[in-house]
Structure formats: structure tokens, C-alpha cells
């Protein structure tokens, strides 16, 4: 790609106590073969000093220090609003990237146009294993990473439309955020990308999987699989259903949703996370007015 014609890409990395992962992430980005990019590290009030170490080691990054933890959505929104690029990348700090990851995304954009894009995600611990071959969702609001945990044997090796682009690494022209809006601060974290992709789809903006762009992801360095994560997943799943379906559509599938909800209650009970499910339901009730307005 002609370096002169390269549009500026703003790479936003939201950091919250990512420690060495953040430095490894930025180090890999510095090897990118697409030259015209800026790195914005937004720190969500980390206490491990990782953001300071990163700025000391990589002088060219722009560091924004939030006074408190604004969550995934609020923190990334700070970066998006500060970005100067024609393109925006939201990238998790627990990732590393291949040198041509960005040029491949831009190349596919030049063919497919205004949309949301995600690369192929492979495991940082075992680079032959998928973390995501494109994110998908079903009518009950469950989002999932296709092929997660399976070996990459080139079974998903062509550009294709997907349900939504993963927030682990999301690439889009800045015009998309102007049309769709920023990440929803109410969501805070988890299903934020599903919500964004759903809103985009309602405006006719598609999401694509780009397998020629490859990143490696450690996953869940903050919460892992615990009750806090299950709370956010369930709360935000139901929030998306209640805000994106019309009242008519919601009423038509209400009986099925009730059955699904019963199964979710049983699942949370079996995993020892019943408290997380109860918290999610109570939080949704408390915010009924906000949800109704949305």
C-alpha cells in the first residue's frame, strides 16, 4: 500500500491493570507495516503503574488518564472522542498483532466499504487455536465467538459477513461512530460490541470477519469466569433484548423468552452464580425508566 495515500488510523487501547500485557501489546503494534497510525492508551484508574511504564517505554503514544474506572464503554468512548483518525481501532491490551493486521483490515475496507470489521482471533497461549472466527448472536441475545477453542485448520479463511464485530479488536471508519453513536455507557462492559453491532445493523451497516488480519488474544485477564462477569453478561443480554426489539416483536417471542429465561436461571443455579442472576434482574428493574426511554 502506498504510504503517501495511507489514511490515519487511531488505535485505542483501554487499560486497567493489564501489567506486562499492555507493554507487549504496544510493542507488537510498533512492528505494524502500516505506517500512518496513532496509539491512544486510555487508562481506567489503574493502580499497577502499567500505563506509566508504557508511556515511559513508548514515548510516541498518547496517554489519557481517567480519574476513575469508566468501564469498557466509557473508557473507550474517551479514546474515540479524542481520536484524530479516519479510522478507529478498539483493541484490548491483552492482545498482540501480526505486522500486516492493519493493512489487511484497510484493504478489505477498500473493497467492502463502510462497516464494522474484526480480524481472526487466535489464542495468545496456543496460536493454533481459535478465540474467534467472527462473533455471532442468536434471537435470545446470546453472543458467542465462532469456533472458539477449536484448531485453526483454515476452515474460516474467507472474508464474510458476521453477526457483529468483536470488541477485542474492532476496526471501523470514524463515520460509523458518527452514524451509530458511541458505545453505550450503561452497558459498562460485556455485550458492548453486540449492542454496537446490533445498532449498526439496524442502520444497514454490516459487520465483517477478515481472516487475513490476525491477532492473538489472552482473554479475560480482569474477571475470568466469576459471578461478576456472569452478572454483566446476563444484565446486558436482557438489556439489549429490551432496547433493540420492538414491543410487537418482543410480545411475539415473549413465551419463548420466558422458557429461555427459566433455563438461564437453572444454569446460573448449577454454576453457583444464582446471586449474579438475581442482581441482574434487580438492576434491570431499577433501571426500567432508562430502558423504556432507550
pLDDT at 152 over 50: yes
Q: Averaged over 59-86, what is the pLDDT?
A: 97
pLDDT at 224 over 70: no
Name residue 82's beta-bridge partners: none
Query: 188, 72 in Cβ contact below 8 A?
Result: yes
pLDDT at 221 over 90: no
pLDDT at 68 over 90: yes
The mean predicted confidence, pLDDT, of the chain is 95
What is the per-residue pLDDT for 4? 40
Q: Averaged over 100-111, what is the pLDDT?
A: 98
Q: How confident is the model at residue 222 (pLDDT cuts 50, 70, 90)?
A: low
C-alpha closest to that of 22 among 212, 30, 106: 30
pLDDT at 81 over 70: yes
Query: 98, 215 in Cβ contact below 8 A?
Result: yes
Which helix (H) or strand (E) element contains residue 190?
none
What is the per-residue pLDDT for 3? 45
State the pTM of this model.
0.93
Query: 12, 40 in Cβ contact below 8 A?
Result: yes
pLDDT at 104 over 70: yes
DSSP states of 214-232 as a string?
Answer: EEEE---SSS-SSHHHHHH
pLDDT tens track for 12-33: 999 999 999 999 999 999 999 9
pLDDT at 208 over 90: yes
pLDDT at 49 over 90: yes
Rounded to the nearest 5°, which phi and psi values hold at 67?
Answer: -75, -20
Q: How confident is the model at residue 65 (pLDDT cuts 50, 70, 90)?
A: very high
What is the per-residue pLDDT for 94? 96
Q: Averaged over 185-189, what is the pLDDT?
A: 94
C-alpha closest to that of 55 among 68, 40, 34: 40
C-alpha closest to that of 14 among 107, 97, 105, 78: 78
Amino acid at each position: 500500500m502506498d504510504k503517501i495515500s495511507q489514511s490515519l488510523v487511531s488505535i485505542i487501547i483501554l487499560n486497567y491493570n493489564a501489567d506486562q500485557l499492555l507493554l507487549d501489546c504496544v510493542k507488537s503494534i510498533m512492528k505494524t507495516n502500516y505506517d500512518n497510525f496513532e496509539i491512544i492508551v486510555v487508562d481506567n484508574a489503574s493502580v499497577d503503574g502499567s500505563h506509566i511504564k508504557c508511556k515511559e517505554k513508548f514515548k510516541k503514544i498518547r496517554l489519557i488518564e481517567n480519574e476513575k474506572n469508566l468501564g469498557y464503554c466509557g473508557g473507550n468512548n474517551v479514546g474515540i472522542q479524542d481520536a484524530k483518525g479516519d479510522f478507529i481501532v478498539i483493541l484490548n491490551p491483552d492482545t498482540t498483532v501480526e505486522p500486516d493486521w492493519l493493512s489487511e483490515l484497510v484493504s478489505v475496507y477498500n473493497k467492502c466499504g463502510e462497516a464494522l470489521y474484526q480480524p481472526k482471533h487466535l489464542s495468545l497461549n496456543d496460536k493454533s487455536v481459535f478465540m474467534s472466527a467472527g462473533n455471532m448472536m442468536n434471537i435470545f441475545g446470546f453472543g458467542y465467538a465462532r469456533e472458539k477453542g477449536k484448531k485453526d485448520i483454515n476452515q474460516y479463511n474467507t472474508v464474510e459477513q458476521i453477526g457483529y464485530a468483536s470488541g477485542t479488536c474492532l476496526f471501523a471508519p470514524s463515520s460509523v461512530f458518527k452514524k451509530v453513536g458511541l458505545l453505550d455507557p450503561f452497558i459498562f462492559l460485556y455485550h458492548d460490541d453486540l449492542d454496537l453491532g446490533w445498532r449498526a445493523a439496524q442502520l444497514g451497516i454490516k459487520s465483517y470477519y477478515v481472516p487475513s488480519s490476525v491477532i492473538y488474544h489472552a482473554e479475560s485477564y480482569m474477571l475470568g469466569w466469576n459471578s461478576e462477569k456472569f452478572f454483566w453478561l446476563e444484565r446486558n443480554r436482557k438489556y439489549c433484548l429490551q432496547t433493540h426489539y420492538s414491543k410487537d416483536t418482543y410480545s411475539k417471542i415473549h413465551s419463548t423468552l420466558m422458557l429461555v429465561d427459566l433455563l438461564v436461571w437453572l444454569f446460573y443455579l448449577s454454576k453457583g452464580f444464582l446471586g449474579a442472576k438475581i442482581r441482574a434482574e434487580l438492576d434491570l428493574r431499577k433501571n426500567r425508566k432508562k430502558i423504556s426511554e432507550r
